[in-house]
Structure 1
Amino acid sequence: MKTTTRIQLSSMMFLEFFIWGAWFVTLGTFLAQRFTATGGQMGMAYETQSIGAILAPFIIGLIADRYFSAQKILGCLHLLGGLLLFLVVTSTTFSNFYPLILLYMLFYMPTLALVNTISFRQLQQQPEKFAQIRVFGTLGWIVAGLLIGYFGWETSQQLQNTFMLAAAASVLLGLLSFFLPHTPPAAREEATGLRQMLGLDALNLLRDRSYLIFFMTSVLICIPLAFYYQNTNLFLNDIGISGAAAKMSMGQMSEIAFMLLLPFFFKRFGIKWTLLIGILAWVLRYVLFAYGNSGELVWMLFVGILLHGICYDFFFVTGQIYTEQKAGAHHKAAAQGLITLATYGVGMLIGFRLAGWVTDSYTVATGYQWYQIWMLPAAFAAVVLLLFALLFQDRSQ
């Protein structure tokens, strides 16, 4: 790969995840501070991500795989998204905030599959090197968290500034996207039916039993994952951890190390054991959160945060590479959209609803009962781990 191309793709990934990390991590705390939101309202706000992810495969299958260059679609979506994020800041009630963030996520979520498509197309026959590009997305998320901590927006209750920061980055990426490597549609042949036009041929992947088990596991494991995104920042701030967003960025720092270790794990342990290690880390993380505190057991919280690197890389990045290897030549973008649907869509939609209900159920006059809130996703992840270990078999190389 040319150095110029590598810089372009790395910058794209950096900004893509900087935008998301700039406001998404502290959303629960923002809603509690700005609107005194309930757990149910927090769940509604977070699940806009899932609604966007469910629709993403259809947007990508209809457009990116067939008619327009992926980088141009990416640019248009981020320019529109930047405008919406600026409007979000003007919200004075949750009822004003919700439709704006919902519309924004309908624009943003398809871009996750688009940046993967652009990257994999440039990598050609070397998908295992995707981690070297994707790691810059992790850096973007880290920088966003560190900036929030540096400016002290959580403690000063100025988290509306996170949306301004994300909006500026979105406009920047929107403009830069038009200068990314040309990524024409892979399936140029004329579509013969609605199934082909919507990219639903990617559903043929589910005929492969091993991929079907992986797909279902992706849906299930994202139910406990939703608890992490929705509650962790609120949890840390609630128990008195200062600079929570900055400290949470340690999870993304660990992502970098473990992402660079992925090629070793692929060769040494294979797909199944790499995925199993990722799921196991979920179980351990929530148990550590349940028993940790801001006093002498604060180390448990930090270890739980650091496990995020294994949780994310060993399951999600591995899953993206596994999907790329399984997809047909003409439907790779739609296949990436399909796995986005499974992870950020269906699974987390259920998870955010459940997390909101659990949070409200274990909120009493004295505050949140965090032990109960964290042990439920820990138990759920343990069941998913057992089922995947027993059912998944894929001996293909």
Structure 2
Amino acid sequence: MNIKLRLIVMNFLQFFIWGSWLISLGGYMIVTLNFTGVEVGSIFATMGIASLFMPAVMGIIADRFFNAERVLGACHIAGALLLFLAAQIEDYPSLYIIMLFNCMAYMPTIALANTVSYNALEKNNMDIVKSFPPIRVWGTIGFIAAMWVVDLLDLTKSPMQLYVSAAASLALGLYSFTMPPRPPLKSGDARSFSSTLGLDALVLFKSRKLAIFFIFSMFLGAALQITNLFGGSFLDDFKNTYPGSFGVEHPNLLLSISQISETLFILTIPFFLYKFGIRTVMLFSIIAWVLRFALFGIGNPGDGLWLLVLSMIIYGMAFDFFNISGSLFVEREADPAIRASAQGLFMLMTNGLGAFFGGILSGWVVDFFTSGGVRDWQSIWFTFAGYALLLAIIFPFVFKYKHVPDQLKAIKH
């Protein structure tokens, strides 16, 4: 099989696994298992806990001891077993522990899949910069496909979504062992734990500009998963007021517009970065988060469906203009010797600390506006919108940065 096609299959399954439960698990836990907002938020916060150290640990193992494709396969097989167990658990303490271990198995595979992909392309004498993005986009397609499968099979409020994810994880685990071998690096080339985690880049906090950037990255990281946590249960709560409506009957199909938008907004990033610079692009992202939450607050699956669709479209700007543009900014500002560590630090602040605090705090907000089992979603979403608005007001005053268009072209690898 052509190596590009093999990598497309790998990336498709990599994110199909995640898409099978990430968007709908919150609704399943709230609606079917009757978990509280704090309980749901804390389970999603396990992704943040796992992201703090597991990618670094597995990166070290792949760099020093075992082939990367074998580590990738072992992680996915372990994840499959844990997801299979999670599907059979209905109490909060047990599900929390199982999902924590599942995230510890899954989160490192995102970076490991990239490593295996880069190695395969390099071995086939292909330009990684040109060849990988068209392959990686199939990961997003896999995520969307999983959302559609779970929705069309009516599994959004069922533990069966975890079985679907487990099956895909087992398939990818076995498939990973067939990928081109990527052996451990020579001792002199292997990165240290602190370097992989991004701790070598802590020196960047000496720069006021970069310190403010990383702090805001953490604050914005807290917003990344909020609609994933509670979007499904939000739409389900309209089942009595808008029975049979598209959003209630097919929540994952509606929410998948966000991921479709994400793939499209990625293409606009070069234009916006060259035209406006990172400071303005980041501000666009923060304002987009304000609109994302506010439109959820005033929309509904009936006559307000267009407001929800607009929110899904805006998500692409909110997510990409922060994640992708922020990564490019870090790549340019960091010294070449610590660029890899700087990217690790960026991930630590967003997907680690940010995701952890976002999961916990958002759960508190949902429970605060819940009385007698009835959730005041408008107040919930407006609270999140107010949080993003506060960041939007503060950010341009504290983050001082002069845009020089040609600087983006100066990134050297």
Q: Structure 1 length normalisation: TM-score? A: 0.87
Matched ranges for 1:252-263 at <5 A: 252-263=259-270
For structure 1, which runs of at least 5 residues remain unmatched after alignment?
A: none
Match of 2:155 in 1: 153
Of 281, 288, 307, the match for 1:274: 281
The verdict on how the C-alpha distance between 1:196 and 1:149 changes in structure 2, with shifts beyond 3 A counting, is closer
Matched ranges for 1:1-397 at <5 A: 4-60=2-58, 62-119=60-117, 122=121, 127=129, 131-154=133-156, 157=157, 159-183=158-182, 188-189=187-188, 195=194, 200-240=199-239, 241-325=248-332, 334-365=341-372, 367-390=374-397, 391-393=399-401, 395=404, 396-397=407-408
Moved more, 180-189 or 37-46: 180-189
Q: 1:233, CA displacement in angstroms?
A: 1.1
Q: Determine if contact 2:297/2:382 at 8 Å carries over to the other structure.
A: yes
User: How many corresponding residue pairs?
Assistant: 392
RMSD across aligned positions (CA): 3.0
Moved more, 251-260 or 383-392: 383-392
Q: Which amino acid aligns with 1:356?
A: G
**1:159-189 deviation per Cα after TM superposition (whole angstroms, max 9, x unaligned):** 2111111111112222232344554566741
The verdict on how the C-alpha distance between 1:334 and 1:180 changes in structure 2, with shifts beyond 3 A counting, is farther
Moved more, 323-332 or 285-294: 323-332
Q: Determine if contact 1:52/1:345 at 8 Å carries over to the other structure.
A: yes
Q: Determine if contact 1:67/1:188 at 8 Å carries over to the other structure.
A: no
Q: 1:220, CA displacement in angstroms?
A: 0.3
Q: Determine if contact 1:119/1:133 at 8 Å carries over to the other structure.
A: no
What CA distance in whole angstroms lies between the structure 2 residues aligned with 1:259 and 1:47? 26
**1:348-370 deviation per Cα after TM superposition (whole angstroms, max 9, x unaligned):** 21111111111111012361101
Identity of matched residues, %: 35
Q: 1:194, CA displacement in angstroms?
A: 7.0
Q: Determine if contact 1:282/1:378 at 8 Å carries over to the other structure.
A: yes
Moved more, 26-35 or 77-86: 26-35
Q: 1:326, CA displacement in angstroms?
A: 5.4
Q: 1:223, CA displacement in angstroms?
A: 2.0
Q: 1:327, CA displacement in angstroms?
A: 6.0
**1:292-316 deviation per Cα after TM superposition (whole angstroms, max 9, x unaligned):** 1233222111111222211222211
Q: Which amino acid aligns with 2:296?
A: F
